Homo-oligomer: A and B are copies of this chain.
């Protein structure tokens, strides 16, 4: 029961319910879960190139010759790669920070392995860096740090747009979002 509480959102009560359910009705499933967990812990590592999670030296995206190596999208976590890939339409590559700059938590450039991003943009092939960190205070600070770090080595460092989410209604949007939407307005062609 105690071990189950490592799962996000699982406290003592749910842990007890889960433990009993596994033991009483799902012993096979529990054994399979145990094996898969061990296999994942032992077999899954960071991609040598982009720090995405993978079972090989290179992740599927870095190994895919059809992806455009000249564009690198910087994200906070592998979950963000899932989200962008599901949205479709992005054909470049990625770099995963596994976090964001947060001096209070002792997370600086070294913890995010930004020297590896720098090494990568120094290669001639990299033309654009798109910073897709979250639209939070720490995500913005991280974006500006990356701008300073790589700006001299690529022809473009851009930030994903802030504004109204699809389906969003002005009446229910916060002030900051409305300001970004007005400032970032684009010509209607």
A contacts, CB < 8 Å to B:
73, 75-77, 79-80, 82-84, 86-90, 130-132, 134-136, 143-144, 147, 151, 156-188
Alpha-carbon separation in the docked complex, A33 to B142 (Å):
52
The prevalent SS among residues of A at the interface is: mixed
Within the complex, the shortest CB–CB distance from A64 to chain B, in Å, comes to 18
Q: If the complex has contacts A83-B178, A130-B182, A178-B87, are A161 and B164 also in contact, measured as CB distance less than 8 A?
A: yes
Most B-side CB within 10 Å, residue of A89, A164, A175: A164
Contact among B89, B134, B158 with A188 in the assembled complex (CB-CB below 8 Å): B158
Q: If the complex has contacts A87-B176, A163-B163, A177-B166, are A158 and B171 also in contact, measured as CB distance less than 8 A?
A: no
Set of chain B residues within 8 Å of A134, measured between Cβ atoms:
164, 168-170
This chain's copy number in the assembly: 2
For residue A89, which residue of chain B has the nearest CB? B179
Set of chain B residues within 8 Å of A156, measured between Cβ atoms:
187
Set of chain B residues within 8 Å of A90, measured between Cβ atoms:
182
For residue A170, which residue of chain B has the nearest CB? B80
Set of chain B residues within 8 Å of A159, measured between Cβ atoms:
185-188
Alpha-carbon separation in the docked complex, A176 to B182 (Å):
19
Within the complex, the shortest CB–CB distance from A128 to chain B, in Å, comes to 9
Within the complex, the shortest CB–CB distance from A142 to chain B, in Å, comes to 11
The reply to whether B162 and A180 form a contact with Cβ atoms under 8 Å apart is no
